[in-house]
Amino acid sequence: MCEVFSGSYREALGFAAALEHLQNFTLVHDDIADGDVERRGRESAWKRFGLAHGINIGDVFIPLSGLAILEADLDVQTKMRLFRVLSDHGLEVVEGQSLDINLRGDDAPTEAAYVACTAKKTGAFFAMAIVGGGVIGGAAEHQLEDLGAFAHEAGVAFQIKDDLLDVIGGKGRTLGSDVLEGKRTVMVAYAIERASETDGQRLMEILNRPRDRTTASDVAWAHRLYDRTGARARAEATSEQRLSEAIDRLQSLPQTSAKYRFLRLCRYLTRRQH
């Protein structure tokens, strides 16, 4: 995003490193919170090194992120603005994680509740990168607002696609992990709307079971219900629609070649296969 405004991505490399550290922090701790034993086809950190070391491994990425910004070749004012971006949107990510945890105890999940959670948990992390890149590139305040709005909406589209990949495989972890973890994805909300009362109750029973008591046949049944109720197809359409609405927020960006490269990248968010 920096390149869209300034013409050079190099100014943003330090900040990009900071975001990569923060991403690693969230992934390590997410695996602990979710009980996932695999990450990208390999043992997750806590599974390989133990819970205590796993927490510590995740924690180290926070100071590394701060150092990456402090050591970046940027003026002090820009660095302070970047710390504000990370702080504001970082708090949103934490709030989104809390909403996600609470949502797992909701036996009548709705699309609205899912979106409220995901716009913060995933969308706010997108906003860190996109708004931060705009700050470094010299974007105007109204453009930064548009970038933030885009990021939150695009984050929802990305997460819905992530949920879909969990159904077909491609996330680099156990197929059906979302069902095993009892996650209320948008497909769960859609399926509950259209399923019979009996099927709806069975789905919630499966999602509410402890992970170690949920069988492969339970996961397969839930996935078939998503297909029978049209929840999976509806989720695909919703992801595409939300991405299109997000892209509409980018009208104020300069008409540069970097903008159109970014728009092509946006399309990957809902068309990726892993």
pLDDT (tens, 9 = 90+) of the chain, 274 residues, equals 889 998 788 999 999 999 999 999 999 999 998 888 888 889 999 999 999 999 999 999 999 999 999 999 999 999 999 999 999 999 999 999 999 999 989 999 999 999 999 999 999 999 999 999 999 999 999 999 999 999 999 999 999 999 999 998 766 667 888 999 999 999 999 999 999 999 999 999 999 999 889 999 999 999 999 999 999 999 999 999 999 999 998 988 888 888 888 888 888 888 877 6
| Residue at token pair 């906003």 | 127
Alpha-carbon distance of 57 to 53, in angstroms, equals 6
pLDDT at 97: 93
176 φψ region: left (φ > 0), alpha (ψ -120 to 50), beta (else): left
pLDDT at 257: 87
pLDDT at 171: 63
pLDDT at 175: 82
Task: Report pTM.
Answer: 0.88
Is 181 strand, coil or helix?
coil
The DSSP code for 38 is E
For 237, the token pair is 């359409």
Is 166 strand, coil or helix?
helix
Superfamily of 2-255 according to CATH: Farnesyl Diphosphate Synthase (1.10.600.10)
**Closest C-alpha among 97, 17, 42, 273 to residue 9:** 17
Alpha-carbon distance of 148 to 170, in angstroms, equals 28
Determine the longest span between alpha carbons in the chain, in angstroms.
61
